[in-house]
Structure 1
Amino acid sequence: MILYTMMPHEQVFPPSEEGAVNQVMISYNGIPIMAEWTENHEYRVVRVMSTDPNHYMEPSCLPGSTISLS
């Protein structure tokens, strides 16, 4: 089987169930991102899932940055 996808191998086939459970797709200011829930009750950006190049330039959505939805 050939799988054509832009997703990294680790996301399509996660190494463990626990790592993929914490990740959720959210929309932050209209930008779809993959985020991970932290102990500080915030989301940590894992990756930007948008096809719009301008969304990758948004400083608040850089991978590793934390955001609060409240």
Structure 2
Amino acid sequence: MILYTMVPLEQVFPYSEEEGNNQVMISYNGIPLMAEWTENHEYRIVRVMSTDPNHYMDPVCKPGSTISLR
């Protein structure tokens, strides 16, 4: 089955409550991000929550990368 939609995948196929417990909203250099806390005491970026297209082009803030806020 192919599903063509603008709705985020998380809304079409909701994840379990356990997966979402680690996710928090953070701001990194003024860019709002959805991130999750890792075992290495860093944040792994899950999603860029900004409306500014330039924030999506920033290689530091790509989903899957890790950042430290210390």
TM-score, with structure 2 as normaliser: 0.82
Q: Which runs of 4+ in 1 moved over 4 A?
A: none
The equivalent residue for 2:47 is: 47
Deviation of residue 9 (structure 1)? 4.4
Separation in 1 of the partners of 2:58 and 2:16? Answer: 30
- Contact kept? 1:14, 1:20, Cα under 8 Å: no
Q: Is it true that 1:59 corresponds to 2:59 in the alignment? A: yes
User: What is the one-letter code of the residue matched to 2:67?
Assistant: I
CA RMSD of aligned residues (A): 1.8
Unaligned runs of 5+ in 2: 1-5
TM-score, with structure 1 as normaliser: 0.82
Aligned residues: 65
Separation in 2 of the partners of 1:69 and 1:7? Answer: 30
The equivalent residue for 1:68 is: 68
Deviation of residue 16 (structure 1)? 1.2
Q: Is it true that 1:8 corresponds to 2:11 in the alignment? A: no
Unaligned runs of 5+ in 1: 1-5
Q: 1:54 to 1:8 in 2, by over 3 A?
A: same
